Chain A
Amino acid sequence: MTNSLGDIEEAEAFFITGSNTTETHPVISYRVRRAKKRGAKVIVADPRRIRMAEEADVFLQLKPGTNVALLQGIAKVILEEKLYQEEFVREKCEGFDEFAEALQAVKLDEVSKITGVPEEKITQAARIYAGNKPATILYAMGITQHAQGTDNVLALASLAMLTGNMGKRGGGVNPLRGQNNVQGACDMAALPNVFPGYQPVTSEEARKKFEKAYGAEIPGKPGKPMTVMFKEALTGGIKGLYIMGENPVMSEADSAKAREALQKMELVVVQDIFFNETCEYADVVLPAASFAEKDGSFVNTERRVQRIRKAINPPGEAKSDTEIISELAGKIGLKGFNYSSQEEIMQEIASLVPKWAGINYKRMENGGICWPCPDENHPGTPILYTEKFLRESGKALFKPVTYQEPQETPDEEYPFALTTGRILYHYHTGTMTRRVEGLSSLYGAEKVWINQNDAEKMSINQGDRVKVASRRGEVTAEAMPAREVLEGTVFMTFHFAEACANELTNTAMDPVAKIPELKVCAVKVERA
């Protein structure tokens, strides 16, 4: 997030897209609803009539995968009606002319046709977003899990730049991060292309620093992203996989492919708190400690680094991940893995990551601290870009984007667009939440959400078993005819191993971020 949770509540307008906020980030949704009650405006764009749509002053129910078109439409209206903030665009941004030029080609009626959203609603949304200051954008995987995910984000950023909503309280472009420490895992460079703190592996200077610190030779070119690892496992490019706290058999697009990849590998190690679905394909399973059984820190969606504390001992012989890694590193013959405490690891991080240089356990007390925090006297940075942007010129760059169809669109054989996500009562692959009796009693099995008109046409009633199949696999689950889903689309989750949506999803991915297009693929639905 460019902004903090505390300040986005001050927004006068919210543009929420690709985020089912009430179910995936409930506590943030409370804030939006509170803001709405005091008079803030809300725009929601989503293929499903999600709960948040009830709060919306304008709800844009777009066809899955047509986000870029919609966002261009909104930008077009802002430009044409001169709703953009000229001063900000002139002084803080670059590339406006090219951006405006590129939008020339965009026609609102075509946008409406592509997205299925009426023109007047697009206009209305643009006016609300540009006309109420500050305005904030909240988005989540509905924006990123597309073959055009990066373009989606660029298009959103352009809207914020156009309207001068960057670097201000109540403004910004705010991805709501889906997992407790997804921000931290990125910050800590569990990523193939960067060292901790987003220092590129291609940077000579950074590489030297880490080689020295680790006493090892590190390649100067990026490693393989997970999606690529799985692909290359099939051809022998990856032979050994160490999985810590992950369940790719359920969470990766195209589960069948994921299983095949795992089977091909010579070594698969899974380290987890439960014997998850991926463990079946492992050679070794290592028992880890849960969040309640260890010390450490998490970074939340607003870049706030916070402490977690050990409350109880891990069960049986289970150990914390750092303990396991350290011991394993020792056995492999690596040096530099002897730490007396988690705090010591954090000290090492601070010494290697300039943006974290001022962060330590003491400063994490009392509500944590938002990075960047370059030194011990720095108060942390809840809002980014208040003075300048990260580029050398200090200015933000408008990047024109063009709409492309999703990689797989419905056709005669697979007439429905499947879109996936989470529901309120469960989390990810369900390893934790399905072991909470109460949560399971509130939502116990997968449901295939389908538009009630579509269901009627196929004589599918609530509770009927239906088979959903794509070119990659099929699952059977209970049908849930509902008005919330757009005609021609179905919605499923990846919480339930018995009927996991990822058996169906497409591994087509965004060329930059390598995110699979989990939010849209073509499926067919029939009574089971």
Chain B
Amino acid sequence: MVKLNINGIEVQAKEGVTVFEAAEQVGIYIPTLCHHPDLSTFGACRVCMVEANGRLVTACRAPVEDGMVVKTDTEDVNKVRLYNVELTLAYHNQDCQTCSRNGNCKLQEVARFVGVTPESMEGIRRSRVEQFIDDSNPFFHRDNTKCILCGICIRTCEEINGVSAIDFAYRGYKTAVSTVGDKPIKESRCESCGECLERCPTGALYRSKPAVPEREVESVCTYCGVGCGIYLGVRGEKVVSVRGNEENPANRGDLCVKGRFGFDFVNHPDRLKTPLMKKNGNWQEVSWEEALSFVADKINGLRKEHGSQVLGGVSSARCTNEENYLFQKLFRSMGTNNVDHCARL
């Protein structure tokens, strides 16, 4: 354990943790734009600067030291933070009202904290960055005018799913997040998992079909066997979003493209809504009563005539345990073990 002092508060921290983490531990807020707890530190936004033993350092990178004295509210700290945020704002898209992240934006949060005001911005030249929107991916788009180059998407792509489809390109003021050869994201090696989207601190990466759910229901993804924990976002009678459940041990919040974005089938107009029976070669909508009576009669007829062994049941690896259980119970109750499912496919 290391003992340090942050703003007069004695803090005990584990060796190797950063000043940022130590401050967090005692509830001291340090603003940051490029730090993300899931990812390696970057240290480029320079907003988390604090004074440690009299020197300005980035709290996200500086490891705690025994006897270290940290101050987070000195003149230099405030000045550097304020200018950094103001500069970021000066080149940032200013249409906050229509932004999908309005009110839930890290840049707004930090700007508020460091004290950006119209007066403080006086004199700072604002500049309109030429807008370029990459809308090649059907699920999420990128708006460069809202990108603050925090690199979180880049590190996510490298460290969370290991794809490394994106990186910084160009230099200086023209620096941008880009793919190999600056191709649209759809043509890159991106796997559309959307992990970057989930971590983007601003509205630079946004869902192509934004929908804020009115409530969320905990569930499990319906695709592969990983069994990722998810929250189904619901609005009215529709599933409108899916997000990963970070508490779930199977996926710890991670999702893939199908899990995160592949839910539209639930509310698809093609969904079967009534029982159908083929009558004279044509499909007709019928009542449950008619359909089930027909099936039951037919089954009983076959059983009577040929015995239960001429019946077969094909269950599904996509149905629940309870459904599968009941399905086999149905067949075994009829005296046959002819029940199987698609486990082999």
Q: Do chains A and B touch in the complex (CB under 8 A)?
A: yes
Q: Give Cα A334–Cα B272 distance, bound, in whole angstroms.
A: 27
Cβ < 8 Å to A, chain B residues 281-300: 283, 288, 291-296, 298-300
16 CB-based A-B contacts, threshold 8 Å: A30-B254, A185-B324, A185-B342, A191-B341, A196-B325, A240-B312, A241-B312, A269-B295, A273-B265, A275-B270, A292-B222, A308-B220, A349-B325, A433-B262, A433-B265, A438-B264
Task: List residues of chain A with CB within 8 A of the CB of B218.
Answer: 307, 309
Does residue A123 face the partner (Cβ distance < 8 Å to B)? no
Contact segment of A80-88, A218-226, A409-417? A218-226
Knowing A301-B226, A312-B238 are in contact, say whether A333-B300 is a contact too (CB < 8 A): yes
Chain B residues near A34 (CB, 8 Å)? Answer: 159-160, 162
B191 touches A22 (CB 8 A): yes
Interface residues on B, range: 35 or more
Is A152 an interface position by the 8 A CB rule?
Answer: no
A219-B335, A223-B338 given as contacts; is B161 within 8 A of A179 (CB)?
no
Beyond the given pairs A317-B275, A439-B257, 12 more chain A to chain B contacts, judged by CB atoms under 8 angstroms and listed by A's residue number, are A176-B226, A179-B224, A226-B344, A284-B277, A299-B321, A307-B218, A308-B219, A333-B300, A424-B191, A427-B224, A439-B138, A515-B344
Interfacial chain B residues near A425, Cβ < 8 Å: 192, 257-258
**Given A192-B338, A223-B339, A346-B322, are A435 and B222 also a contact pair (CB < 8 Å)?**
no
**A252 interface residue per 8 A CB criterion:** yes
- In the complex, what residues of B have CB within 8 A of residue A272's CB? 272
Interface flags for A306-331 (1: CB within 8 Å of B; 0: not) read 11111111011111111011111101
A-B CB proximity, top 10 nearest = A300-B227, A33-B162, A316-B273, A245-B316, A223-B337, A296-B320, A177-B225, A438-B138, A26-B256, A287-B272
A202 to chain B, nearest CB (A): 10
In the bound complex, residues from chain B placing their C-beta under 8 Å from that of A282 are 278
Residues of A contacting B249 in the complex (Cβ-Cβ under 8 angstroms): 4-6, 304, 367-368
Q: Contacts A219-B337, A240-B302, A435-B265 known; A337 to B258 CB distance under 8 Å?
A: no
Min CB distance A32 to B, Å, is 8
Which among B219, B220, B264, B270 has the highest number of chain A CB atoms within 10 Å?
B220
Per the bound structure, the CA–CA distance linking A179 and B334 in Å amounts to 28
Band of interface residues on A:
35 or more
B240 CB, min distance to chain A CBs, angstroms: 10
Shortest Cβ distance from B340 into chain A, in angstroms? 4
Check: A357 CB closer than 8 A to any chain B CB.
no
Q: Contact mask B104-147 → A, CB, 8 Å, 1/0?
A: 00000000000000000000000000000000011100000000
B263 within 8 A of A: yes
B336 within 8 A of A: yes
The CA of A222 and the CA of B309, in the complex, are separated in Å by 11
A514 within 8 A of B: yes
Contact A427 to B258, CB < 8 A, known contacts A188-B328, A240-B302, A322-B323: yes
From A178, A195, A286, contact of B225 by CB (8 A): A178
Docked Cα-Cα span, A99 to B337, in Å, equals: 36
Query: Which stretch, B15-23, B46-54, B168-176, B229-237, touches the partner chain A?
Result: B229-237
Chain B residues near A292 (CB-CB < 8 A): 217, 219, 222, 232, 239, 263, 266
Interface string of A341-355 (1 = CB under 8 A from B): 010011011000000
A204 at the B interface (CB under 8 A) = no
Decide: B339 and A331 in contact? CB cutoff 8 A.
no
Q: Is the CB of A226 within 8 A of B320?
A: no
- For residue B314, which residue of chain A has the nearest CB? A243
The verdict on A182 contacting B342 (CB below 8 Å), with A6-B249, A367-B248 known, is yes
Bound: A183/B318 CA distance, A: 10
Q: How far is the CB of A288 from chain B (nearest CB, A)?
A: 7
A350 to B81, CA, bound (A): 59
Selected from A210, A224, A285, the residue in CB contact (under 8 A) with B332 is A210
CB neighbours of B283 from chain A (8 A): 285
Docked-complex contact A297 and B322, CB < 8 angstroms: yes
Q: Is A290 an interface residue (CB 8 A)?
A: yes
Query: B222 and A438: CB pair below 8 A?
Result: no
Smallest Cβ distance from B81 to chain A, in angstroms? 32
